[in-house]
Amino acid sequence: MTDEQRATPSLLLALTPVVLTLLILGTQIFYFGVFEPHIPLAIGIALTSFVGTYLGLTWEEVRAGIFKVIHVALPSVSVLIVVGMIIGIWIASGTVPTIIYYGLKTLSPQIFLAAGMVICAVVSVSLGTSWGSVGTVGLALMGIGEGFDIPMYWTAGAVVSGAFFGDKVSPLSDTTNLAPAVTGTDVFSHIKNMMATTIPAMVLAFLIYLGVGFFVIDAQSVSFAKIAGITSALEDNFTVTGWALLPALVVMGLALKKIPPLPALFAGAVVGGAFAMFMQGQSLQAVFDYANNGYAIQTNIVEIDSLLNRGGVQSMMWTISLVLIALGFGGALETTGCLRSIINAIKSKAKTFAGTQIAAVGTAPLIGIFYAYVGWFSPKATKAEKEEWESSGAEIAKFNKDGTPVTE
């Protein structure tokens, strides 16, 4: 069936699968207290498919649209798989522990956040992937921030800010290449046009993190005994040497030679595996296990154990499955014309540049307000729980497996 022959859904019909999916998702998260959106999104695919059938589409046409969108995202999914491998292997090779060690020895709490953001930006530009930067250098920076007693949310913000900046302007980034490819322009014109908003945002974030380092973070409260304990434990469990940084340098060198991110990252995993065996004394079987299931260590130092027990392909499967299902939902909405009807309705109201920007910026807060509304009036939320969660700030989204709020 051609686009001309398809019936265009009305706005009400187009919104039906979206609203129902949001309601089911809100129930899953706030009523049952489980942040696992996979099944609600899968139900959303089914609801959208029913809409397509009502409009005259066959299941084969809807399925083709779903897998078309998923196919476009497979390169990014491949990167996630290799990033999972590389995290586990680079911990075993001593690369991540060495970065943490030297970071604690050389950086100061005042400049740490700003410097960490710049480091992640440079690495992300070189690799062309924000996931790869966050999972490798970003992981090490989280360890350094923990050693400095800097709140985790500040460190995570700096890491993500730098990683997203680099991924956005890197000519090696898959999303940076995908956007101009589907709009009919070249990648460097695309990057140039993004600079007008990306550079000011980066400079503003840098100044904020620099200000936080000097005026918010209390350098006097840093426990140097704690830092000494972390660095000593790293020396006891790993061979800490500048040579351990070679796997990271190999990846960055290949990226600078314009080798695509996937083979460059895989080469880094191979080199890291060799270092894990010949420098850290790991067996080949152990390296394979770290690549698949993540690194495992028990040092009795909470900060080290919480940071270094991670990685592996399997650790990425939750995210990968969510990405695939969410993209399938998007593909179903696009194929059935629901997405087009919603966009046309927004475009009819936002006829100016300012109106378009306001509509784009306002979408996320409106969805957030919707979720807050669903959660606030959830039958499970008693008055006492509401007051407790309201005063708990960042802890509001943390739940145990049985749906009860996490308490410190």
User: 216-266, pLDDT tens digit by residue?
Assistant: 877 666 666 777 787 888 888 898 888 998 988 888 888 778 787 788 889
The more confident residue out of 176 and 325 is: 325
pLDDT beyond 90 at 292: yes
Query: How far, in Å, CA of 271 to CA of 312, rounded?
Result: 16
- Residue 184's pLDDT is what? 60
For the chain, percent of residues with pLDDT exceeding 70: 77
The token pair at 102 is 């030297």
Residue type, 77: V
DSSP class of residue 307? H
pLDDT beyond 70 at 374: no
End-to-end CA distance of the chain: 57
Query: How far, in Å, CA of 64 to CA of 124, rounded?
Result: 34
Residue 309 lies in a domain: yes
pLDDT band at 377 (very low <50, low <70, confident <90, very high): very low
The more confident residue out of 158 and 135 is: 158
The answer to whether residues 181 and 191 touch, using CB atoms and an 8 Å cutoff, is no
Same domain, residue pair 273 and 346: no
- Residue 177's pLDDT is what? 60
DSSP class of residue 394? G
- Residue 50's pLDDT is what? 94
Each as own residue / partner, the long-range contacts of residues 37-43 (CB below 8 Å, 24 or more positions apart, any chain) are 37/322, 37/326, 38/321, 38/322, 38/325, 41/322, 41/325, 41/326, 41/328, 41/329, 42/325, 42/328
Final residue of a structural domain among 317, 352, 377: 317
Query: How far, in Å, CA of 142 to CA of 136, rounded?
Result: 10
Ranking 45-49, 265-269, 332-336, 404-408 by mean pLDDT, the lowest is 404-408
3-state secondary structure of 1: coil
pLDDT band at 389 (very low <50, low <70, confident <90, very high): very low
Final residue of a structural domain among 282, 317, 352: 317
Same domain, residue pair 20 and 123: no
The more confident residue out of 176 and 168 is: 168
Domain enclosing residue 376, as ranges: 11-57+336-397
Q: Which residues contact 349 (CB under 8 A, 6 or more apart)?
A: 355, 359
Same domain, residue pair 109 and 252: yes
Query: How far, in Å, CA of 176 to CA of 165, rounded?
Result: 11
Dihedral (Cα; 119, 121, 124, 125), 10-degree rounding = -120
Ranking 9-13, 99-103, 274-278, 337-341 by mean pLDDT, the lowest is 99-103
- Residue 378's pLDDT is what? 45
Same domain, residue pair 106 and 244: yes
Residue 209: CB atoms within 10 A of its CB come to: 25
Residue 300 lies in a domain: yes
Model-level pTM?
A: 0.71
The token pair at 185 is 């322009």
Same domain, residue pair 180 and 297: yes
- Residue 363's pLDDT is what? 67
Residue 37 lies in a domain: yes
Residue 329 lies in a domain: no
β-pair partners for 405: 399
Residue 269 lies in a domain: yes
- Residue 146's pLDDT is what? 81
Is the C-alpha dihedral spanning 77, 134, 295, 317 positive or negative? Answer: negative
pLDDT beyond 70 at 366: no
pLDDT band at 168 (very low <50, low <70, confident <90, very high): confident
The token pair at 298 is 């028990």
What's the rounded mean pLDDT across residues 101-113? 81
pLDDT band at 67 (very low <50, low <70, confident <90, very high): very high
DSSP class of residue 367? H
Query: How far, in Å, CA of 74 to CA of 174, rounded?
Result: 10
Residue 392 lies in a domain: yes
Same domain, residue pair 342 and 258: no
What's the rounded mean pLDDT across residues 279-302? 89
Same domain, residue pair 247 and 303: yes
Same domain, residue pair 285 and 166: yes
What's the rounded mean pLDDT across residues 309-333? 89
Residue 242 lies in a domain: yes
Final residue of a structural domain among 267, 290, 317: 317
Same domain, residue pair 91 and 46: no
For the chain, percent of residues with pLDDT exceeding 90: 24
The more confident residue out of 388 and 170 is: 170
pLDDT beyond 70 at 398: no
Residue 354: CB atoms within 10 A of its CB come to: 9
pLDDT band at 179 (very low <50, low <70, confident <90, very high): low
Number of folded domains in the chain?
2
pLDDT beyond 60 at 3: no
Same domain, residue pair 20 and 163: no
pLDDT beyond 50 at 375: no
Residue 327 lies in a domain: no
Same domain, residue pair 41 and 139: no
Q: Residue 257, CB half-sphere, CA atoms under 13 Å: how many?
A: 9
Query: How far, in Å, CA of 172 to CA of 162, rounded?
Result: 16
Closest CA to 108 of 142, 139, 74, 148: 148
DSSP class of residue 380? T
Same domain, residue pair 44 and 186: no
